[in-house]
Structure 1
């Protein structure tokens, strides 16, 4: 298994999908580091339960695994928030997938143009979206 080669800090995710009514909401910040000696995905949570209840962590982990696409990493959640009505596991799964892809782009494992496909994730050196000509 390949490991994340460099740290990618301050990945911010805010999923707001409101289609006519309540939709999935997820909000978190994460720092990605190269994996520890065991490899795989290590998910550490430094966010108080009042801000990010543990019930959303399994879905977030599933999304991260999908987004990282087999690349091992240590992920530290540094901030999070829930919405009493709109937070759902599906939002955290979507957010985890985008955060994982953001880490791959930030580490140079995916082309910078792949950032154009991410709707919910930002990070300090995210490339600006390309303008569409039409």
Structure 2
């Protein structure tokens, strides 16, 4: 089992498929840390329910697991937002996948060139 080797703070993902029309929308800010003593994946959200409804957390979790691709981490969601009209489980799954991949790029577990495929993700030190 591979563990995230170092922290990656402030990974911000804002999925916005189309401006002015219906489409998946999701927004989260995540802090990634190496896993705790058990080495298991952990997801905790401290974002208020009014910012990130709990109903989207299972899809976000599934996306994070896909994006991390077997690398374990502890993930803290600190912020989020949603749209009454455009948010969906699909959007949060995309957000999770992009956030997980961003953490892998930031820690060197994926090559910097991979950042170019992360359309909606931003993080400190992101390669151009």
- Note whether the superposition's TM-score is higher than 0.5: yes
Contact 1:32 1:73 in 2 (8 A): yes
Matches of 2:41 and 2:64, distance apart in 1 = 8
Determine helix, strand or coil for the equivalent of 1:18. Answer: coil
Deviation of 1:40 after TM superposition, in Å, equals 2.5
Larger radius of gyration between Structure 1 and Structure 2: 1
Contact 1:105 1:114 in 2 (8 A): yes
Deviation of 1:92 after TM superposition, in Å, equals 0.3
Determine helix, strand or coil for the equivalent of 2:56. Answer: helix
Contact 1:35 1:73 in 2 (8 A): yes
Contact 1:40 1:71 in 2 (8 A): no
Corresponding residue for residue 26 of structure 1: 26
Gaps of 5+ in 2: none
Deviation of 1:84 after TM superposition, in Å, equals 1.0
Corresponding residue for residue 70 of structure 2: 70
Question: Over residues 45-75 of structure 1, what are the superposed CA-to-partner deviations in whole Å (9 max), with x where a residue is unaligned?
Answer: 1101111000000000000000000000000
Gaps of 5+ in 1: 129-134
TM-score (norm 1): 0.92
Corresponding residue for residue 40 of structure 1: 40
Kindly indicate whether residue 62 of structure 2 is the aligned counterpart of residue 56 of structure 1.
no
Deviation of 1:18 after TM superposition, in Å, equals 2.0
Corresponding residue for residue 125 of structure 2: 125
Deviation of 1:35 after TM superposition, in Å, equals 0.3
Kindly indicate whether residue 1 of structure 2 is the aligned counterpart of residue 5 of structure 1.
no
RMSD: 1.2
Determine helix, strand or coil for the equivalent of 2:30. Answer: strand
Contact 1:64 1:100 in 2 (8 A): yes
Matches of 1:63 and 1:38, distance apart in 2 = 22
